Chain A
């Protein structure tokens, strides 16, 4: 299966390992992974801030770059949702109109792609730790992703999954919200961090690298024990590598 990889801007710049691990997992299940070089950003930062004029060119670029691929995979629920859920509105009057919906249907968040498209729930990973899952907002409510990551995590050798209280409550990131309303965002993050800790798990994972970046920041700020790790990195883990 030929897969085009979309690496969101902040993964590209701040968490390249998530991209690398995504490639590893996809290759392991037999995909051929392509990285279209002309990609930049899905435009979500502009869209969510009301700067649609800044977001629109990004969206147009995305559609142009990715429209010829059958499968597009992205290790972020939020960016996937941007393409699927919000592009039609953002590009309503654009000349890309026809391609927008078609492209949206072919973009998948990693776990969704593995389970729903590739039909794989066991990627042969091993991660001997306790892990709790944060059901991130856009993945859960906008894309309906929940069973997929859980199924994948349950099949990771050595991994013990612990359920988090209020697992689908927002972590408080929200893009620019995190800086515009820093104190509120951090307060929401603290509630989440408390829920993570309540499970006693060593790691908290999610399909959204942005939430994890925020949670990691909140957890480390107060020297709390649990660590944030992207699901791609868990799925890419092998016993010998750790």
Chain B
């Protein structure tokens, strides 16, 4: 077992035993469940919208290079810069260079999972640059020195009381009360100063529209707009898979994203940005950069069976529906993208040997498949990962032995019956002389948390033979 697998096991066990954590997650996720269910009713035909979204994103994934080039041409024509970053390191370096050249002291950042993926903040801070998260949830986890817990709702695991205590400690000057509104107001007072001070704004992108040459950003707090228009320099960091062919596709993708994520018809702010401030315009940055990040994505693209994973629009619906995520929470995964999509992608991008365990951390309930707005068959990808894990020789020895026995036994009904008879007989005998099921090797991991099933004397086959099928 890899070290990461062991760490996951420990964290997952701890979290799932933590009833307070479970209650907080349940409360938060349940409220999303209700909102999303209601939101879907606003569509005349939700399934048709999903089909459309899946088709558009599928089309984009199979035409990634030409669409990105089209996007690049338009951005460059308007005076923007486009940088193709092959690795996280490339991307970090480019952004640090831009910051250095512009003599940047403070950065404001709107929500972006890709900046988490490339660990951008520590790199900038090493240069002595102060970076402030401006999404409320992100700011909260930043002040707690934690990674985001969820790809849409970074502070989902916290209660209002915890946030109040945090703010009292970290933003005492801006605190004027304890109500929900007051907490938001405190963050706003604090962030206003950061916005005005910042020389550089960094954002992610929800979509890159090829035909329009525009970056599409959805936010709910308006922080995205301030980040992208107040500072003198704006840098967009985004995965190459975010490109879509046509502006009109946003007509479906935007509402589908908002509905799947939070149940909203559309996010409060939906912004399109096509370059730096043009002549005669009153706002917008003087300098505009788009960093297109690969970081393993072309590897996924090269895999015909699994490239549909690149359709993901990071709505977070699969996380909210996942009973494993609901039990162990977002941090136990120890990945940028937790939950079903993270468990499917991480082993492919970061290596099966270290991360394969995540493909197994799933009961295959397929709830994620049923909610994914771009119809990614996540459970199928987890199964495919498991197949690769085994074929690359990474399975545990005990499991390999177990399946050799399984293979032998299932190759004939007599062998199967014999093995079953033997297994039941020794189990019954051991239990009869008062042995604890915990002591019975493989049964231990079952009986630690569950009662032993009754072990019958006869198998069905034996009963059938005894009675000649007459019951």
Measured CB to CB, the residues of A under 8 A from B are 7, 9, 11-17, 19-20, 23-24, 33, 35, 37-41, 43, 45-54, 57-58, 61, 137-138, 141-142, 168-170, 172-189, 191, 213-214, 216-221
Partner of B403, one of A40, A54, A175: A54
Interface flags, B435-471, vs A, CB<8A=1, else 0: 0000000100110111111111011111110000101
Q: Which residues of A contact B403 (CB under 8 A)?
A: 46, 49, 51, 54
A218 to B461, CA, bound (A): 28
- Count of A-B contacts with CB under 8 A? 200
Could you give 22 example pairs across A and B, Cβ below 8 Å?
A: A13-B424, A16-B456, A40-B409, A46-B406, A49-B390, A51-B390, A51-B406, A54-B406, A61-B410, A137-B363, A141-B367, A170-B323, A170-B367, A174-B365, A175-B363, A177-B362, A183-B17, A187-B327, A188-B327, A189-B450, A216-B451, A218-B449
B365 and A12: CB pair below 8 A?
Answer: no
Q: Is B63 an interface residue (CB 8 A)?
A: no
Chain B residue nearest to A168 in the complex (CB): B367
Q: Which residues of A contact B192 (CB under 8 A)?
A: none
Counting contact residues on chain B (CB < 8 A from A), the size range is: 35 or more
- CB of B130, distance to nearest CB on chain A (Å): 39
A49 to B382, CA, bound (A): 10
- CB of A184, distance to nearest CB on chain B (Å): 5
A27 to B391, CA, bound (A): 45
Interface flags, B1-28, vs A, CB<8A=1, else 0: 0000000010011001100001000000
Chain A residue nearest to B396 in the complex (CB): A180
Q: Which residues of A contact B370 (CB under 8 A)?
A: 141
Partner of A137, one of B364, B406, B461: B364
A38 and B413: CB pair below 8 A?
Answer: yes
B359, B364, B452 — most chain A CB neighbours (10 Å): B364
- CB of B375, distance to nearest CB on chain A (Å): 13
Q: Which residues of A contact B366 (CB under 8 A)?
A: 137-138, 141-142
B13 and A40: CB pair below 8 A?
Answer: no
A170 and B365: CB pair below 8 A?
Answer: yes
A54 to B395, CA, bound (A): 13
A183 and B16: CB pair below 8 A?
Answer: yes
B450 and A50: CB pair below 8 A?
Answer: no
Partner of A217, one of B359, B410, B453: B453
A57 to B365, CA, bound (A): 25
A169, A182, A217 — most chain B CB neighbours (10 Å): A182
A4 to B370, CA, bound (A): 32
A84 to B94, CA, bound (A): 51
Partner of A50, one of B395, B409, B413, B463: B395
Partner of B460, one of A7, A40, A58: A7
Chain A residue nearest to B416 in the complex (CB): A40
A118 to B466, CA, bound (A): 29
A50 and B469: CB pair below 8 A?
Answer: no
Q: Which residues of A contact B369 (CB under 8 A)?
A: 141
Q: Which residues of A contact B361 (CB under 8 A)?
A: 177, 181, 184
- CB of B2, distance to nearest CB on chain A (Å): 14
Q: A14-B454, A137-B366, A176-B360 are in contact. List 16 more A-B contacts (CB 8 A).
A: A16-B460, A19-B464, A20-B460, A33-B469, A46-B403, A47-B383, A50-B390, A172-B323, A172-B363, A177-B363, A179-B442, A181-B9, A184-B361, A191-B22, A191-B326, A214-B450
- CB of B34, distance to nearest CB on chain A (Å): 12
A13 and B459: CB pair below 8 A?
Answer: yes
- CB of A65, distance to nearest CB on chain B (Å): 9
- CB of A183, distance to nearest CB on chain B (Å): 4
A176 to B363, CA, bound (A): 8
Q: Which residues of A contact B410 (CB under 8 A)?
A: 9, 40-41, 43, 54, 57-58, 61
A219 to B452, CA, bound (A): 11
A140 to B324, CA, bound (A): 18
Partner of B423, one of A13, A19, A38, A57: A13
A50 and B387: CB pair below 8 A?
Answer: yes
Partner of A184, one of B16, B365, B453: B16
- CB of B40, distance to nearest CB on chain A (Å): 16
A15 to B460, CA, bound (A): 8
A51 and B463: CB pair below 8 A?
Answer: no
Q: Which residues of B contact A16 (CB under 8 A)?
A: 456, 458-460, 462-463
Chain B residue nearest to A14 in the complex (CB): B453
A12, A58, A174 — most chain B CB neighbours (10 Å): A12
Q: Is B429 an interface residue (CB 8 A)?
A: no
Q: Which residues of A contact B460 (CB under 8 A)?
A: 7, 11-13, 16, 19-20
Partner of B451, one of A14, A178, A221: A221
Q: Is B386 an interface residue (CB 8 A)?
A: yes
The 4 A-B pairs with the shortest beta carbon distances in the complex, nearest first, are: A174-B363, A217-B450, A50-B386, A186-B449
A210 to B155, CA, bound (A): 36
A188 to B12, CA, bound (A): 12
A40, A52, A137 — most chain B CB neighbours (10 Å): A40
B362 and A174: CB pair below 8 A?
Answer: yes
Partner of A51, one of B362, B395, B464: B395
Q: Is B411 an interface residue (CB 8 A)?
A: yes
A37 to B17, CA, bound (A): 45
A176 to B383, CA, bound (A): 13
Interface flags, B415-434, vs A, CB<8A=1, else 0: 01000100110000000000
A39 and B16: CB pair below 8 A?
Answer: no
Partner of A213, one of B328, B359, B389, B453: B453
A216 to B370, CA, bound (A): 27
Q: Is B38 an interface residue (CB 8 A)?
A: no
A46 to B383, CA, bound (A): 11
- CB of A86, distance to nearest CB on chain B (Å): 8
A70 to B451, CA, bound (A): 39
